[in-house]
Amino acid sequence: MAAEGNERIVLIAMDGSEYSDYAFEWFWTHFHKDNDRVILLHVPEYHTVVQSPMVMADVTVITEMMQEEERRIKQFLEGLGQKLKDKKVGGKVKSVGGNPGEVICKVANEEGAHLIVTGTRGMGKLRRTFIGSISDYVIHHSHVPVLVCRHKDHHEQQKH
């Protein structure tokens, strides 16, 4: 999908964390332009089901947990839609399953994004080396510029 005229397509990765909220607000305050079309992308991860000690439990329990997770995701996506309405910006909300870094790059490519905005949890170098980070993946695999917003609390921690 190509941009019309001077429209800039910006994909913002949203995971419900304070880090992605901070990235959204930072983008909005410092970088947003009136002709931006914003895509808020959520890559759902089924935390409660996968991390539950009851995974080996009865199918009914697992089904109920999956349904609860689906309700939580639906509510989150509705909240993202409200963010766009509150800012009076054109755009849309997308939810695509898969590996977050790969999905972010793929959707940015499919949507013709000009920029990807993401937060970062500020993991240390050692932890990033062993488990990787979504923002690192996106930086290294994206075909468009990536704006990584480090949460202001992490800046303060670095000074001390």
CATH number, position 152: 3.40.50.620
How does pLDDT run across 73-106, given as a tens digit for each residue?
Answer: 999 999 999 999 999 988 999 999 999 999 999 9
The pTM (predicted TM-score) of the whole model is: 0.80
- The interaxial angle of helices 134-141 and 100-111, nearest 10 deg, is 40
Indicate whether 149 belongs to any domain. yes
How does pLDDT run across 109-129, given as a tens digit for each residue?
Answer: 999 999 999 998 765 555 545
Indicate whether 59 belongs to any domain. no
Read out DSSP for the chain? -PPPTT-EEEEEE--SSHHHHHHHHHHHHHT--TTEEEEEEE----HHHHT-TTTTS-HHHHHHHHHHHHHHHHHHHHHHHHHHHHHT-EEEEEE--S-HHHHHHHHHHHHT-SEEEEEE----HHHHHHH--HHHHHHHH-SS-EEEEE-HHHHHHHH-
Indicate whether 133 belongs to any domain. yes
Q: Domain count of the chain? A: 1
Indicate whether 152 belongs to any domain. yes
Indicate whether 139 belongs to any domain. yes
Range of the domain at 25: 8-47+74-159
Indicate whether 69 belongs to any domain. no
